[in-house]
């Protein structure tokens, strides 16, 4: 079992990475592999299609995803939004029914609004949302500050543990003969009858 952890920051090894790493450690302790996928400025410098192609391959080989974003102006980063807009519309991306979680890193505020935006990608793709024991965020401007946010660190650990539990439960369900619900043909009315 494997989880892809998307780092939506421009800083490859900053606060978002630090939070994702805590989740990765908790996943490992619970028998689940993971890989951190750096989004970076490629999402906004004209290379997003190639980036998404690489991400599709990673997602299709994984059982769950976590999307991490720094908060920029009380919103997710432009990089992560640009990237997710393309990933979630890709017909090649096998996202449906894969457990997903969103986390945010901020100096001070804008975290819940950012997380709300990320969760909306998951819920229109029938992805079960993995939660933690409080809002899934860390606070800090540097990795060192994030690691001092004891509550945030615990929230990331619990999230990793919960993701591992859900993935194992889905595997156990499959082994017990519980079939995944078939996709339905979408009715699109655009509010017109």
Ligand X SMILES: Cc1cc2nc3c(=O)[nH]c(=O)nc-3n(C[C@H](O)[C@H](O)[C@H](O)COP(=O)(O)O)c2cc1C
Q: Does 24 participate in binding ligand X (rule CB under 6 A)? A: no
Q: Residue with CB nearest ligand X?
A: 14
Least distance from ligand X to the Cβ atom of residue 188, Å: 35
Q: Does 71 participate in binding ligand X (rule CB under 6 A)? A: yes
Q: Does 113 participate in binding ligand X (rule CB under 6 A)? A: no
Of the candidate residues 43, 106, 159, 170, the single one contacting ligand X (CB under 6 A): 106
Of the candidate residues 1, 2, 11, 128, the single one contacting ligand X (CB under 6 A): 11
Of the candidate residues 105, 121, 137, 157, the single one contacting ligand X (CB under 6 A): 105
Rounded to an integer, what distance in angstroms lies between the CA atom of residue 24 and that of residue 18?
A: 10
- Using DSSP bridges, classify how beta strands 64-72 and 75-76 pair: parallel, antiparallel or unpaired: antiparallel
Of the candidate residues 28, 92, 96, 107, the single one contacting ligand X (CB under 6 A): 107
Residues numbered 114-153 forming contacts with ligand X, rule: CB under 6 A: 140-141
Q: Does 109 participate in binding ligand X (rule CB under 6 A)? A: yes
Task: Calculate ∠ Cα 59-116-118, nearest 5°.
Answer: 20
Give the footprint of ligand X on this chain (CB under 6 A). Answer: 9, 11, 14-16, 70-74, 105-110, 140-141
């Amino acid at each position: 079992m494997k989880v892809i952890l998307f780092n939506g920051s421009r800083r490859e090894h900053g606060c978002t990475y630090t939070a994702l790493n805590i989740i990765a450690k908790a996943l490992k302790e619970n028998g689940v592999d993971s890989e951190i996928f750096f989004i970076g400025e490629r999402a906004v410098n004209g290379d997003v299609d190639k980036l998404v192609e690489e991400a599709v391959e990673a997602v299709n080989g994984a059982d769950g995803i976590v999307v991490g974003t720094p908060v920029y102006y009380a919103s997710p980063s432009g990089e992560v939004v640009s990237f997710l807009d393309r990933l979630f519309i890709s017909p090649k991306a096998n996202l449906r029914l894969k457990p997903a979680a969103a986390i945010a890193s901020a100096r001070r505020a804008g975290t819940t609004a950012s997380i709300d935006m990320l969760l909306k990608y998951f819920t229109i793709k029938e992805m079960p949302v993995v939660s933690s024991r409080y809002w899934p965020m860390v606070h800090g401007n540097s990795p060192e500050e994030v690691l001092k946010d004891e509550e945030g660190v615990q929230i990331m650990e619990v999230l990793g543990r919960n993701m591992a539990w859900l993935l194992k439960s889905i595997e156990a369900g499959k082994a017990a003969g519980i079939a995944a619900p078939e996709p339905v043909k979408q009715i699109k009315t655009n509010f017109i009858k």
